Structures are given as structure tokens and as C-alpha cells.
Structure 1
């Protein structure tokens, strides 16, 4: 056990209490000011009015295009989709581009299922003066069935059109500029797949700039690059007027299952950058993703990136892209720091050496011990686990009490951000209390170096396995160690010691705070447990302050932080009780399921029942899973029996059936008999499939053996033809058993009208039949 100097436990005089209050206020201002300063980077540029945009991008001008085609949902296969296609083609022609329609049967094989449909990509080109490789601007023009897609991805499409307007008024660039408005992105990246597989221009592409959205506001940040990105990133930093980009987020994104069109282009060997804005998650893929809810500042940011990068890269030789990867991150607004991935290991080794030297320095000055440092590591580890439990417990408690508001809690920006602030204050209270108690047994230096030892272990792991994100841990650690070396030479519990700790934590807070916020934006407060570990980790840079600074008694500062955190959480929860409102809508959905064989039907809702969905689900209400009555889907729902409407189910007709050399070849015509937009087929029996053709196109199968537990599943957008041709080859002794269903983006009967305070992902109806040999 370490010996604690008695000065640390003496009671405070009245004068000392006043001084401690002043120190606490100043340090709190420094910490809060640093965090707010770090978040200044997360801003979009100001909107440029249309009348000031002769040769620059104007969100106002782009918005006028957006309003022309985001008037209603326009998913692949719908009639409104054709209207949007025609509008975009006409608009590009009026701007002097001669677009073509690339119509293709596109299939995309994923691990769990196959998606497909007939897509109509819109492709055009602005000729360059001496093009070796072209820049390709990409956004998808299809929407989800539930909303008009103003942000996802109308903003990207409108930005491309406005950029085309400006480019046509400029002198030509050296490189060609290809405009690609992809189709069927929402159904499985079908348009980009068709372009890379079938279009002749794919070989001409030197750089892809893809634009997306996962909300309706906030800064557009560059969140993904192709591999060997050094040249791309360095040129991006030079060209982008207000760049927002973190390679740590790129590292996380690579570990996530999310895809965009750039996924397909990268797989085809093309270089590219991916951009998206992601605040306002509650509007994503819903009816409220409409022009009235879209932030014009976010649209301006899209266009600012687009035009500046096209101008910059358009006069560069895109055949010379170089090798190697670069780390990149914002610091103090839109200023960016970049350095080669080759420096990751040297910087990590420098941190290791500096840590060892700091331990030696602290031990010589009798400010720490090796045993105490190991104890500090265990306290830090236990504190991190405790933070995870606190975050999980708080979120679980709130979602249990406010279960009907859970969707708003996880998707509404105002509610989620306020909970993030309140939870973080409580984590700081926990950290302060934990380390004040620990300081009774362990010296401050040992506690601080034990925490930094955990930082070091994480930094080493990140440097080895998550290189692009290593800077988030390495640089706060280095500055923290430098601060500790100065702290060891100062008197503990002194103004100078506290100031040094705060000042040397500033670089860490500047780097760490935006990353925590961006993780929250990507994952929402549903990831509260992990987010609180990050908050605890950042707070550990301030252990010399949290462990020794006190006002009157050790419990006052933790009590203040805890009290403020709880107050913010309670006020936020009370505010939540007054929602939903038109400004803060709640998700509402209703789906109709019918088994045409058994003549049984159900209404089901994935969200808690509301005043609208309760009209449908109001008798013998049950909680369960759709797999009990519709095996293709695995949704947790609230459901009840429904009337059986006079609706024709889909059909799966055998056109031919022959056996040769132990193989059985069957050709089916699958048809929706009610003009449903989508056809879904799932195998029920075990079978070995050696080949599968959908509408004459070979399917790339990940495996050949399918069982009831691991079936073949494919969804195809039948569109206005309403049918597809399927040819399958199996072993001769296999039996054939299928579920075939069609999905319509509407329900057979509408009962009442939804209030504007509800937003929906779209109401659907599924009719299924079982087909057997």
C-alpha cells in the first residue's frame, strides 16, 4: 500500500474552499470550452443564394431542382420512379448534357440473400480537353418506398445537377466528368453493380466521388476512401474549402456491414471518396425525408465538396495515384492534419518509450510506484467496466420506462444529444468519486500513470490492428505523458498542477470529443454503453484534477456533476413525454400479411402501437415474431388477426421440368397477380443448386447446399411487368418446395389518416403461397 502525504487529507479552511471553487469554475470553463471548440468542425458552410452563384455552387439553386423530383416516394419499380427518371433526363439535356439510359437486369449476391431488379441508370458525360481518366460523380436517384428521399439521395442528385450547371459555364477541364445517377441502390446497390459489370465507360473512370445521406442535416463528412489513399487524401485536403474527415471513422465504417455504391466501385478496383451527412437520423428512410425538412446547409456542403474537388482533380493526371495510406483528422475547425500510415508504428514506439521514461521520472521524484501504477491500471479497467454498466443501465432503465418513446430516443437529434450530455456528466461524477476514493490508498501519480497505461495498451492495439484510427489514442497519450512529467515537478493540489493537467489534456479533448460525437451520430444512443466507456477514457486524462480537487469535502464535486446530469436527464425525459410532434415525429408502421393457402391474415406493427396503427390492431393483440405466420421475415412485432381481403396471391408456374445426368432443370414463371412491386422467393426443402438464372442472368452463388435453416432467398423488383423467369438446376433426387410472396408498397385498406406527428418507413402488404412438387 502506498503512503499518502498527510496534506492531501487535511480539512479545508474557508479561504481554501473559496479558492477551490474558483479553480473548479476555471477548470470547468477550460474543459467545456475545449469540447465546444472541438465541435466547431461539425458545421456546414453557409448557403450561397442563387442570384450570387454565376460560377459557384448554390444550395438555393440546387434546391429548386430537388423540389422538382422529390414530390413523392419513387422506389425502383414504381410509376413515380419513371416520372423522376424523365425529369432528371430532361433537366440534364437542358443543361447541355446528352444523357443515356443504361437499362440492365442487375443481381447482387449477399451472404444471406440475393437482390435483383431491372435498373435504369442515367449516364452522361462532360468532355474534357485532354482526358486520360475521368472523374465520376455518383448519387442514386431511387428512394425507399416510405419517403420521397430528399436527403437520401435527392441531395446528392440535386448537387450533381447544380454542379453540372456550373461546369457548363466554366472553361472545360482536362479530364472528362462522368455523371452517373444510379438506380436501385436501396434494393442492393443494383445500379452500381450494373454499371461496373456492363457499361463501357467503367474502364475510363479514374476517380469516383459518391454522395450519400443518413439523416437530413449536419455537416457532410468524408467517411470512406479507397485503399492506397495517400494521394487522394492529400489532394482532398488541398482542394476542399471546409473539409470534415476522420480516418478513425473510416476504420470503424470498414468494420460495419453498411454499404453504399462506392462499395461496388471499390470492389471493381476504382479509386474513390465517399461523402455523407448523418444528423437527423429520425428522418432517414421515412416520410419526413422531404424537401421541407432538408437542411440547405448540408446540401451546400455536398455541392461545395463536389465542385471544388471536380475542379481540382479535373486538371490532374488521374493515372498517377501513388501508393500507401494516410491518416487524417480535423483539428480546430476545418484545419486538417495528415501523416503517412508508415509513421504509425514509430509514433507508437515513441509513446512506449516516453511512458517508460515518465514512470522512471515519477518514481525518482517519489510521485508514484510500480505497484501503485498497476493498481491504477486495475482501477481504470474497473472504472471502464463500470462506465459500460452505467451507460447500459441508464439506457435500459429509460427505454423500459419510456418504451413507447424508444424510437424517438434513438433517432431524434435533440433528445439523443441531450441524453449524451446528461450521461456524460454522470460518468464524470462517477470518475470523480471513484478516483477521490482511490486517492485515499494510491498516490495521484500512480493513479494517473495507471490510467495512461491503459491508454498505452489501447494505443498499441490500435497501431497494430486499426492503424487509421490510432491517432485518437496515441496523441492524447503523448500529450498526457508530457503533462505528467511537468506535474511531477509541481506541488500537488496546486493551481499550477491543475492548470498543467488541464492544458495538456486539451489536445486529447480536441481529438477525442468529435470522435465520440461522430460515433454517437453513426450509432445513436442505442450504443450508450460503449459511448460511456469512451467518455470515461477521455475523462481519465484529468485524473490529477478529479482525484484531488475538492470543495469542502470529497463528495461535493461528484454530487454537483451527478445532480446536473440527473437534472438534464429528467428534463429531457419530461420534454420527451410531450412528443411526438410534427417537428419531432415518431415512427409508425402497419403491414398486412396474408397466407393465400390457409386464408389467414394478420396486421402487424414493428413500432409500438399509436393512435393510427391501433385502428388496425385492436383485438386479441399479441407480441411475437412474424416468422410464426410469415417464414420469410424475422421481425419482432405487435400483431392481431386481420380480415382476408379478396386479393390474388402470387403464382409460380412450371414452364419446363427435365432431368439429365443426375441433374434436374426446372424453369418457372413467377408472377404477382396484383401489380405488387416486389417478388420474394425462399426455398423450404433441402437442395443442392448447381446453377440459378433469374431473368436469363446467372446468379453468383456463395454456396450450393441450401437447407430449411439456411435457405436460398432472393428478392426481385418486378416493377410494372409483375413477373420474372427463374431457371434452377438441382440434384435429380432433390424435392422442390418454395415459399413465394409478393410485396406491395401499400395496404389493401386504409383506415383513417395518420397525424403529421407520425412518420413512417412505408406501409406494406405481403401475400404468400407455398409451392411444392
Structure 2
């Protein structure tokens, strides 16, 4: 008994995290000879290898090959296939208010006919384009291949009751262009009743259903009852709705359609990088995606009716074994039960165990101290690692398998240290000094940091409120339960879907506390053993569930703010407090907790300074810039720091690269070095006036993947139109606005505005071509520790023009 009481907290932590790790594992991929009605990653990988062989961004020559492959595969499956050409638009965003993207998209639509063609159809959506320099085996070749495998599995059975439309969108990467064209203007959209979208942000990990529409209660119930090993929770869906991130599914929601959005997000070093190859893709992730999506699509396709609108639910999977879902009022029932248990526990503690109200108040302060200490420690770790730029972000991302356990071990050490000090009533001065140092360190790295300083101040105040005198286990336990109850009530009221991650640990901890107080005071050793076992089992279950939630959340947002992991340690603490207080009685417990904190910090430091290698390469970028208006040429790299390969490439002419701005192409300084002027194709740029309309026309040169028009007018222009169609493109006097056209029409792009007053406009046309220009000196191969990003190894062509006009005089074209 003594050994269990002393080591119980560690046993529960290790066992719970081990269970969480098992729950996060992907299933074994089924082979190509699996039964015809099942999803087989082995079969789907044939398409992944064909589609994800090379990068294929919109407008590239390679995407034509991918399009032909998709149409051939869909036709071979007996689907009705055709291309829906259109023009997709991405309006200016808040973070870039004068930049718009447009694309000539070619969406592929393949329909599996149902027995009732008039019934609303099921739309299965994925995108078949990639970013430049990434073969996109996961994003989104995996989704495309999964859709084809779903079509094959459905085709192997009886005809569905309704049409199943497989939409493969073009131009998702530069701004959801294909989805915008389909849901905004394609008449086939009227036939759609529900949408299933498949995406990826990384190439490993379990697939999760992370987004739904509003009033999707019945659809969620269908998913819960049909998906194999579902992974989802309503907090992720509630938070994602408030994030700036978008997928093609965004346009389905804007069109008022219900649906489910699936993705896997682990190993994000392969997200939008050359590492995203078919061989690098975790086939278990692909299997898990299909295991969840296929049964849902089959149920929707064969149902007599699609799920009706119904109130949203609170839901979560339980270690990927099944999905628990209940209405919002059910969340209040859980809170009511937890509150009643806490009241009972408090009554027993005050009347039977002699706990004073002041001790509970100090327990509240102690739990808040634990929370702020945990957040401060990981927030500082994030500041020290530093991910202010993409290059640094991917460098740290390459050490993710060290970063996550390091953050977790640091949290364990910090939280146990605070609980030990609380149990012993010591450490005020130590925490004050340490918190002041940590808070100050946050501002020493990356500039003034009010969050770090605020957390440090809170830690100091709470340390003086809660420490200095020992707090009993009941005071600490009740204090933690009361704080968590208040947080859960607030979340339930403001963000019901988010309450699931708080309510379940709260109910578990309050139930155990009530059971222990109910039998408290007994001298029956068998009852004491039973209660210890119950505490350990519940604590293990809580750690396992929170560990599963926490690892998935950390993969999504942990690199942007590692302190998000502290939330899960805080939620686990109430279930672990009695075990932690038993451990605190051990003489050497502070040393064990300190060693854990130091070990976690060491792993984080290693993650921050870890070097790259063949399997975890870093980003590199070097391109050729031909400025035709100036008659100059440059080797450029917009990366913050030059690696040895980039230095060699940029010093082609013998000149060292220097940081300089080059507007309107580069408004912030980039690395540039002069190079030989080579012959490149020239776009045709004309600027003129017709009445009160300013006309800017560009004809792309052959092979241009992207054509961008940037303009700086001397006055605000109005009524923008693109090829005669109204467009949202704000302009401001003296500021540059930008229109990027992907897969530009060889017949040209015409941008027009109304400009009645006299003025002037400067225009730049920029083209992106694949590869280095003919005649370029040999480019050395990249070492194994580097991978291309952005427009690396491409040719950028820049030309300029300008036009001045009087209020009542039409001007002529001028380059």
C-alpha cells in the first residue's frame, strides 16, 4: 500500500499516457486483396503514387497529367465524368486587404448514379492540386485516392439510393478557387444535399472529423453510429469555426450545406514540402481516413432521406473506440451532477474532516498557481524556441517528436512541484524569484511580452496567497474542483461544444472525491485498498483521454503556442491531486519533480537547437528574377537566413548576396545577388483609358503558371472588374494592390477600374515559370538536409508600365 501511495501518481501518469499513445496509433492498412466492399489503403496507394509523383500546382504542365489520370480512373470505375471549367476567386483577406487571387480552374466531377436521380446527392470532395515544390502525397493526393477507393467500394455493391458526386477541385492551394467556383456558380451545386470533405495537414496520424456545419445533430449521430474508430470532438469543431484557417469545405458551409470535414495532421514537416512523397505517407492514416469516411458516405447514399437539421451536439470520441454525443442540455445535466457531488464532498470535508473554509480558498489559489505556472513555463519555452518565420518554424517542426514529450515532461515536473510545495506550505520566495526570472526572460527573447510578464505577476501573487502554510489534500482537492467547475460552467454557457474537454474530467474527479469522502474515516483496510484502486483507475482514464486530446491539439497549434498543452495538464490535475499529495509526503519527492522539469526543459532545448538531416530537412529557396523593365537579372531568396547551398546559388556572378527591398515584388528586404541576363519570354502589358475606365491588360507568355498584376494608383480607383466581371479589389492612393491569376488564360487578363479624376498608375506584371531559365549556370544539387519551398528553382519575370491621364482626356497605351 505504501509503495502504491508513493508511486501511484507516476504509475497513473505513465499508464495513462501509454494508453493515449495506443489510442493515437493508426490502424494497419488493408492490402489490395481486401474484400471489395471494404476500404483498402493498399488499393488507394496505387493512385497516391500516380498522383503524388511530382508537384502539380494549378496551371502547371504536371497537373494536366494528373487530370488525365483522374478522368481515366473515374471512367474506368464506371462513373459519369466531365470537367467543369470556371473561374474561382479568393477575395482580399483581413491580413492582406488589397490582394486578391483568381484562377482558371478545371474541376473534375464524377457521378455514381443512384436509383433516384431527383434525390439530393452526396458530394465527396477533395482537391487535386498542390503547392509549388511539393508532390502533395497527403495534401491532397490521399484525399483524392480515398475518394476513388470509396467510389470503387460503393460501385462493388448495389446502386445507391441517391447520386454520389465525387468533386475533385482545382486551385485549392492558392485560395480555394475550385470550391468557390463550384459552390458559387456551378448549377450542379443545387443537386447537392450533404458534403464530405477530405484533407490533410501533414502525412501521418489518425484522421479526425474536425468540422461540421450548424444544426448537424442528426448528421453527427449518423457519423457516430457508422464510422469505424471515429475520432472527433466538439471543441475542435467549435474552435475551428473561429480560426482563420479554411478548406474547400468553407465554401460548402457558406452555401448553407451540411457536411463533415476530415483530415489527419501529424508529421507536418511533410506539409507543403518536398518531403510529402508517397513513400513518406503513413498508409495507416489513409486507412483510418477511409474507415471513417466510407461507412458515412455509404449510409448517406443508401438512406431513405438525408439527415435533417437538428440542434448541434456536444461530442467526443473515447480513445477512438467510439463516439459519445449528447445534446447541449445534456452538458448542463453533467454539470449539475458534478456540482452536486462537489457540494456533497465539501459538506463532508467541512463537517467530518474539519476542513476550514480558508483552507479551501487557499486550495483555489494553489490550483490557480499550478495553472499559471504551467502556462508560464511552456510560454517561455515557445519564446525561446522561436518560430517567428517559416524557416524557423519548419526547423523546429523537424524536432516535433522531441518537442511534444519534452513539453509533457516539463509540465509534469512543474505541476508536481507546485502541488508538493502546496502540500508542504513552503517555497514562496523560490517561486517569486523563479517567476520573476522567467517572466523577464520572456521579454528578453523576441521583444516585450505582456503575456509572459502578466503570467509571472500572477504566479507571484498566487504563491503568496496559497503557500507559507501547508494545505491539506481536501482543501487542495476542493479548490481544484471548484475552479474547474466555474470554468466548465462558463464554457458551457459561451461555447457549449468546448465544454466536453472540461466536463468529463470534472465529473470523473468529483465522482471519486465524493466516493472517498462517503467512506472516509473507515479503518477497514479492504475499503482503503478499494478506494486507492478507484482513484488510480479514474486518474489513469482521465490522463489517457486528456493525453489523446492533448497530443492531437498540440499537433495542430502547439508550435504556435506550446502553452496550449498546459490546459490538458490543468484539467488532469483534479483527478491526480490525492495521489500527488501522497507522493508529496515522500522525502525525496521535490527532487523527482525537479528532475522531471529539468529533463523536459532539456528536451525542449534539444528540439530548439536540433540540427537537420536527410529525414528532417530544412527549408531552402533560390529563384531567378528577370527584371525586363530594368534589363537586370538577380538570384533571390526571401528566406530569413541563407544556408550554404543558397549562398552558392545566389553567388552565381561572384557577388555576395545582400539584403534589399525590391518593390513592388518584395516590399521587405530579401537576399539578392546580380546574375547574368538571360533570354526569357516577355508578357505583354498594356495600360490605357476608355472613357472613364482604366484598362490594364496582360497577355501571359507561354508556360506561365501564375500571372500577377500589381498596381499603385495616385488615387483610389472604383468599380474593379476582371474580364468584365465585378471583382473585390480595394485600392488606396499611393499603396500597392495585387491580383494573382493562376493558370492564366493565354488570351489574356483584363483588369479595369473607374477613374474619373486625373491621376497616374504604376503597374507591374509578374510571371512564375517552372525551372531555371535556359542558359543558366548549373545549379548544384541540394544536400540531403535541405528541401525546396515557395518558388524555389523557378523563374520570376517582372515587367513594369505606367500611365498618367487628365480628367477628360483618354490616354494611349504605354509600357
TM-score, normalised to structure 1, is: 0.88
| 1:646 partnered with 2:678 | yes
| 1:477 partnered with 2:506 | yes
Aligned residues: 741
SS of aligned partner of 1:251: helix
Following the alignment from structure 1 to structure 2, what is the Cα–Cα distance between the partners of residues 387 and 101?
54
In the TM superposition, residue 647 of structure 1 has moved relative to its aligned partner by: 5.6
Is the deviation greater in 28-37 or in 531-540? 531-540
In the TM superposition, residue 315 of structure 1 has moved relative to its aligned partner by: 1.4
Q: Provide the alpha-carbon RMSD of the alignment.
A: 3.1
Post-superposition CA distance 1:22-60 (Å, at most 9, x none) = 433344222321232234332322211112333322111
Match of 2:240 among 229, 237, 253: 253
| 1:186 partnered with 2:216 | no
In the TM superposition, residue 347 of structure 1 has moved relative to its aligned partner by: 3.4
Residue 730 of structure 1 aligns with which residue? 755
In the TM superposition, residue 179 of structure 1 has moved relative to its aligned partner by: 1.1
Following the alignment from structure 1 to structure 2, what is the Cα–Cα distance between the partners of residues 461 and 722?
58
Post-superposition CA distance 1:494-521 (Å, at most 9, x none) = 8777555444434533432222111111
Residue 428 of structure 2 aligns with which residue? none
Is the deviation greater in 37-46 or in 297-306? 37-46
Match of 1:124 among 91, 104, 110: 110
Residue 756 of structure 1 aligns with which residue? 784
Following the alignment from structure 1 to structure 2, what is the Cα–Cα distance between the partners of residues 349 and 706?
55
Following the alignment from structure 2 to structure 1, what is the Cα–Cα distance between the partners of residues 369 and 684?
59
Change (3 A) 1:393 1:591: farther
Residue 62 of structure 2 aligns with which residue? 80
SS of aligned partner of 2:563: helix
SS of aligned partner of 2:704: coil
Residue 706 of structure 1 aligns with which residue? 732
In the TM superposition, residue 241 of structure 1 has moved relative to its aligned partner by: 1.6
| 1:681 partnered with 2:709 | yes
Residue 585 of structure 1 aligns with which residue? 617
Contact 1:658/1:666 (<8 A) preserved: yes
Following the alignment from structure 1 to structure 2, what is the Cα–Cα distance between the partners of residues 737 and 368?
77
Is the deviation greater in 280-289 or in 612-621? 612-621
Following the alignment from structure 2 to structure 1, what is the Cα–Cα distance between the partners of residues 247 and 562?
26
Following the alignment from structure 2 to structure 1, what is the Cα–Cα distance between the partners of residues 598 and 2?
24
Residue 213 of structure 2 aligns with which residue? 226
Residue 423 of structure 2 aligns with which residue? 436
SS of aligned partner of 1:305: helix
Equivalent residue runs for 1:409-488 within 5 Å: 409-438=396-425, 440-488=469-517
Following the alignment from structure 1 to structure 2, what is the Cα–Cα distance between the partners of residues 305 and 331?
15
Following the alignment from structure 1 to structure 2, what is the Cα–Cα distance between the partners of residues 147 and 241?
31
Residue 744 of structure 1 aligns with which residue? 769
| 1:114 partnered with 2:114 | no
Match of 2:551 among 506, 513, 517: 517
In the TM superposition, residue 340 of structure 1 has moved relative to its aligned partner by: 1.0
Following the alignment from structure 1 to structure 2, what is the Cα–Cα distance between the partners of residues 361 and 731?
81
In the TM superposition, residue 633 of structure 1 has moved relative to its aligned partner by: 5.2
Post-superposition CA distance 1:650-677 (Å, at most 9, x none) = 6674464134xxxx31122124447432
Is the deviation greater in 574-583 or in 385-394? 574-583
Is the deviation greater in 760-769 or in 169-178? 760-769
| 1:691 partnered with 2:719 | yes
| 1:308 partnered with 2:308 | no
Change (3 A) 1:194 1:445: same
Residue 343 of structure 1 aligns with which residue? 330
Contact 2:410/2:599 (<8 A) preserved: no
| 1:141 partnered with 2:134 | no
Following the alignment from structure 2 to structure 1, what is the Cα–Cα distance between the partners of residues 589 and 747?
67
Change (3 A) 1:338 1:632: farther
SS of aligned partner of 2:362: helix
Is the deviation greater in 188-197 or in 435-444? 435-444
Change (3 A) 1:218 1:722: farther
In the TM superposition, residue 605 of structure 1 has moved relative to its aligned partner by: 4.3
Following the alignment from structure 2 to structure 1, what is the Cα–Cα distance between the partners of residues 178 and 391?
38
Post-superposition CA distance 1:385-421 (Å, at most 9, x none) = 2222211223433559xx9976332244423333333
Residue 7 of structure 1 aligns with which residue? none
Is the deviation greater in 39-48 or in 120-129? 39-48
Residue 721 of structure 1 aligns with which residue? 746
Is the deviation greater in 390-399 or in 293-302? 390-399
Contact 1:21/1:551 (<8 A) preserved: no
Change (3 A) 1:86 1:600: closer
Residue 273 of structure 2 aligns with which residue? 286
In the TM superposition, residue 107 of structure 1 has moved relative to its aligned partner by: 1.5
In the TM superposition, residue 542 of structure 1 has moved relative to its aligned partner by: 2.0
SS of aligned partner of 1:150: coil
Contact 2:16/2:542 (<8 A) preserved: no
Following the alignment from structure 1 to structure 2, what is the Cα–Cα distance between the partners of residues 745 and 342?
56
Contact 2:232/2:317 (<8 A) preserved: yes
Change (3 A) 1:369 1:593: farther
Equivalent residue runs for 1:18-37 within 5 Å: 20-37=2-19
Change (3 A) 1:406 1:732: closer
Change (3 A) 1:385 1:428: closer
| 1:490 partnered with 2:520 | yes
SS of aligned partner of 1:462: helix
Is the deviation greater in 142-151 or in 331-340? 331-340
Following the alignment from structure 1 to structure 2, what is the Cα–Cα distance between the partners of residues 348 and 634?
53
Residue 14 of structure 1 aligns with which residue? none
Residue 8 of structure 1 aligns with which residue? none
Change (3 A) 1:428 1:77: same
Change (3 A) 1:377 1:766: farther
Change (3 A) 1:77 1:25: same
Following the alignment from structure 1 to structure 2, what is the Cα–Cα distance between the partners of residues 656 and 770?
14
List runs of 5+ in structure 2 lacking aligned partners.
426-466, 804-815
Contact 1:744/1:765 (<8 A) preserved: yes
Contact 2:129/2:172 (<8 A) preserved: yes
Residue 695 of structure 2 aligns with which residue? 667
Following the alignment from structure 1 to structure 2, what is the Cα–Cα distance between the partners of residues 271 and 293?
33
Contact 1:677/1:720 (<8 A) preserved: no
TM-score, normalised to structure 2, is: 0.84
Change (3 A) 1:122 1:759: same
Contact 2:55/2:136 (<8 A) preserved: yes
Residue 557 of structure 1 aligns with which residue? 589
In the TM superposition, residue 173 of structure 1 has moved relative to its aligned partner by: 1.0
Following the alignment from structure 1 to structure 2, what is the Cα–Cα distance between the partners of residues 140 and 77?
14
In the TM superposition, residue 122 of structure 1 has moved relative to its aligned partner by: 0.6
Following the alignment from structure 2 to structure 1, what is the Cα–Cα distance between the partners of residues 289 and 627?
46
Post-superposition CA distance 1:580-622 (Å, at most 9, x none) = 2322222222345565555474522426433322313566566
Contact 2:411/2:569 (<8 A) preserved: yes
